[in-house]
């Protein structure tokens, strides 16, 4: 369902030889060894134990120096300003059994907990932000 959109987007930028789509169940299937892994709007679907399991699995699937990029509608660390992030968290609590949104500081902490040596938060366009973990 996502694949056609992904492939069209990658082709638009001429990156077909550098970026690949992989089907699978990231809880059951092994992750392919990669230099960079992107998880967009994924972690907020799961409870904390599942979030940590996915982050650890990503960490294990990359060589030293590899990077994980997580992007979401992050809640601001003070939990006061990013209304879109707070509303998304409410939506996740309604739609997903245990899902919840989180702050950039939360995600950085989880990444360090599973082994990433460096983490930082960056603002993207609009309401989305990213958290980067470097192994």
Residues annotated as catalytic are: 44
Beta bridge partners of 118: 134
Per-residue b or e along 91-130, where b marks 16 or more CB atoms closer than 10 Å to that residue's CB: ebeeeeeebbbbbbbbbbebbeebebeebebeeeeeeebb
Which SS3 state, helix, strand or coil, does residue 36 take? strand
Report the C-alpha gap between 128 and 96 in whole angstroms.
Answer: 20
CA distance 112 to 133: 8
């Amino acid at each position: 369902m996502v694949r056609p959109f992904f492939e069209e987007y990658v082709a638009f930028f001429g990156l077909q030889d550098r970026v690949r789509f992989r089907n699978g169940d990231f809880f059951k299937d092994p992750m392919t060894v990669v230099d960079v892994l992107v998880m967009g709007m994924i972690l907020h679907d799961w409870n904390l134990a599942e979030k940590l399991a996915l982050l650890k699995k990503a960490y294990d699937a990359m060589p030293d120096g590899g990077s994980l990029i997580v992007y979401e509608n992050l809640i601001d660390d003070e939990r006061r300003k990013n209304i879109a992030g707070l509303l998304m968290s409410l939506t996740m609590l309604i739609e997903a059994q245990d899902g919840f949104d989180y702050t950039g500081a939360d995600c950085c902490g989880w990444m360090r907990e599973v082994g990433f040596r460096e983490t930082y938060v960056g603002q993207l366009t609009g309401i989305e932000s990213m958290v980067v973990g470097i192994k």
